[in-house]
Amino acid sequence: MARTNDFTYTVTEKIAIISQNGANTLELRKVSYNGAEPKLDVRRWWTDDKGVEHMGKGLTLTDKELETLAAIVVKDYLDKNDSAKEDEEPAPVKVTQFKPKTKSTTTRKAKSTTRKPKSSSNTDIINLPFK
């Protein structure tokens, strides 16, 4: 079977920016790779000086895998680490919401036609429903 280095991906939904350092962002998106069913994708993204968007290393999860991970984080990690802090309120998590939701199709070698700003002022504080 012949193998090629090119693959395609389609960002079907930009859900949130988890963290940002200049033009480098850690984002939660729904992404379809090579025309397959979209999956949740957590990875670094950045736009270079020419306006080309690049993807870094990341993690791609099905909905079922995300449910399993969330259960592990809540049950096994947060419960163990927060047992001494039961009376305290959880710290708010800063998450940047994307507006509007967009679709884009890209190949690894394709150039982006839009340039993202280096910083985002559209931020909301969301209290996650953890203990």
Domain that holds residue 107: 8-126
In-domain check, residue 2? no
Q: Distance between CA 54 and CA 27 in Å, rounded?
A: 12
Work out how many domains the chain is built from and give that number: 1
H/E segment holding residue 74: none
Q: Distance between CA 5 and CA 76 in Å, rounded?
A: 39
**CATH for 82:** 2.30.31.70
In-domain check, residue 131? no
Q: What is the pLDDT of residue 123?
A: 46
> Going residue by residue through the chain (131 aa), what tens digit of pLDDT does each one get?
555 678 899 999 999 999 999 889 999 999 999 999 999 999 999 999 999 999 999 999 999 999 998 888 888 877 777 665 665 666 666 666 666 545 555 555 544 444 444 444 444 444 444 44
Q: Which residue has the tokens 């895998």?
A: 65
Question: Do the bridges between strand 24-33 and strand 39-47 make them parallel or antiparallel, or are there none, so unpaired?
Answer: antiparallel
